Amino acid sequence: MSLLDDTIASIEAPDAEAARGAGARLDALTKPPGSLGYLEEIVRRYAAIRHDPAALAGRGMITLFAGDHGIAAAGVSAYPQAVTVEMLRNIGAGGAAISVLARRLGFDLIVTDVGVATDTSAAPMTGVRYRRMGAGTRNFLEGPAMSLGQARSAIEVGIETAREARANGATLIGIGEMGIANSTPAAAILAALSEVAPARLAGRGTGIDDRGLGRKIAAIEAGLKIHRASFGDGVSLLAAIGGFEIAAMTGVCLGAAAVRVPVVVDGFIATAAAAAAEKLRPGLREQMFFAHRSAEGGHALALEALGARAILDLGMRLGEGSGAAIAMSVIQAALALFHEMATFASAGVSRKIE
């Protein structure tokens, strides 16, 4: 059995008893029942995913994957593909938004090149590790974006990353990405899985104009027609129209669930990875938190299709795992309240006025 197949087979459903145990403590804290709103649901879900009614918390880790996309040749991005490697260098050196957030919030940051067009592995960049599948994907208008073997290998890179994070004490893992033109395959994946029209899902990404948006929608529509026969399972879907970094994030979603660690899904592109993971293992969305409702394209429609509630809505569309980092701090705040607030009994506070 392959690593991917073994991982999927080992995923258990969240533990309802653990959620009830955490809920009992929440109800005993010095506050009106339910007064912390969705923060209480976050704690119950965390406990259920961890199979731990005590909801013990360890380290937070953000996993960021970078890759390039052949579909960039269709004129779907406002920036040239060279920006991917430039931003990867910036992230590794600590100058990007996610670098700042990870430092400020105390999260470990793992940055992985899974297929940037410019190969810098011979002279490795600071803060970057290399698990390359190739020098970017192929243009999915001319054939599959990658081979089935590459798709499976990229997913398994994500699984291995999740296992590594857990071994290093992570009990919360955020996923993020970097890759010029990657909002196009993300929209294609979400359109294929949700049946929402590409014109409703595609956004302006890095800031394309109306003509660029028209090209983007046309490319997605054409890609869906060309590869429709490949949408029957998650691996072939990713191979046909996906990206190396999207496949790797899919793997983190699967791998983290297998080791009972909640994943915090960043924005639009990470949501496409979560949707692919859900395709591979139905019900997996219950093992994930969705960080924020992105301003990119039809992210709200994608979340609705997944039955997912975003923790935040800040109008963000940066990527990199930036929204995931902020949402992780909210989850940590909810857990701190759960662990550190007094109970009515310990504080000698009456539950209600007689």
Model confidence over 13-53: pLDDT tens digits? 999 999 999 999 999 999 999 999 999 999 999 999 999 99
Q: Which domain holds residue 254?
A: 59-332
Residue by residue, DSSP assigns 47-95 as HHHHT-TT----EEEEEEEEE--GGGGGS--SS-THHHHHHHHHHHHT-
In a domain, 352, yes or no: no
Q: List the catalytic residues.
A: 320
Phi, psi of 329 (to 5 degrees): -70, -30
- Helix and strand numbers (H, E) in the chain are 15, 7
CA distance 99 to 198: 32
Distance (Å, whole) CA 248 – CA 315 = 26
Q: What is the pLDDT of residue 55?
A: 98
How high is the mean pLDDT of the chain?
97
Cα→Cα distances 289→37, 38, 45, 230, Å: 16, 12, 9, 28
Return the minimum-mean-pLDDT range out of 73-77, 124-128, 206-210, 251-255. Answer: 206-210
67 and 137 together in one domain: yes
- Tell whether 80 and 163 lie within a shared domain: yes
Looking at the structure, tell me whether residues 28 and 114 fall in a common domain.
no
Has residue 349 got a pLDDT over 60? yes
Q: Do 82 and 198 belong to one domain?
A: yes
CB 297 within 8 A of CB 201: yes
Model pLDDT for residues 119-160, shown as the tens digit of each residue: 999 999 999 999 999 999 999 999 999 999 999 999 999 999
Q: Is the pLDDT of residue 175 over 80?
A: yes
Residue 232 lies in a domain: yes
Q: Are both 302 and 343 inside the same structural domain?
A: no
65 inside domain = yes
Strands of 263-265's sheet, edge to edge?
Answer: 129-130, 108-115, 59-67, 170-178, 263-265, 288-292, 310-312
CB count within 10 Å of CB 332 equals: 17
Residues 24 and 85 in one domain: no
Query: For residue 269, what are the CA distances in angstroms to 79, 175, 207, 266, 346?
Result: 17, 10, 16, 8, 45
d(C-alpha 94, C-alpha 190), whole Å: 31
Distance CA 187, CA 78 (A): 16
- Is 353 domain-assigned? no
Cα gap 182→192, rounded to integer Å: 16
Structure-token pair, residue 213: 């948006």
Question: What is the rounded distance in angstroms from the CA atom of residue 282 to the CA atom of residue 231?
Answer: 15
Q: Are 117 and 77 in contact (CB under 8 A)?
A: no
Residue 352 has pLDDT above 90, yes or no: no
Model confidence, pTM: 0.97
Predicted confidence (pLDDT) per residue in 249-292, tens digit: 999 999 999 999 999 999 999 999 999 999 999 999 999 999 99
Q: Can you give the pLDDT at residue 353?
A: 53
Distance CA 173, CA 153 (A): 20
Asked if 265 and 326 sit in the same domain, the reply is yes
Residues 153 and 9 in one domain: no
Find the CATH number of the domain harbouring 46.
1.10.1610.10
Q: Tell me how many domains the chain contains.
A: 2
Do 149 and 168 have their domain in common?
yes
Q: 343 forms bridges with which residues in the sheet? A: 29
Sign of CA dihedral 248, 250, 254, 260: positive
Cβ(328)–Cβ(107) below 8 Å: yes
In the chain, which ranges are continuous DSSP H helix?
A: 3-10, 16-28, 38-50, 82-93, 97-105, 148-167, 183-194, 198-201, 210-227, 234-241, 244-258, 268-280, 299-306, 322-340, 344-347
Q: How would residue 297 be classed by pLDDT, with cut points 50, 70 and 90?
A: confident
% of the chain residues with pLDDT over 90: 97
Confidence of residue 354 (pLDDT cuts 50, 70, 90): very low
Region of 230 on the Ramachandran plot (φ > 0 left; ψ -120 to 50 alpha; else beta): alpha
> What's the CA angle centered on 155, arms 231 and 55, to 5 degrees?
110
105 has a pLDDT exceeding 50: yes
Q: How far apart (Å, rounded) are the C-alpha atoms in residues 147 and 152?
A: 9
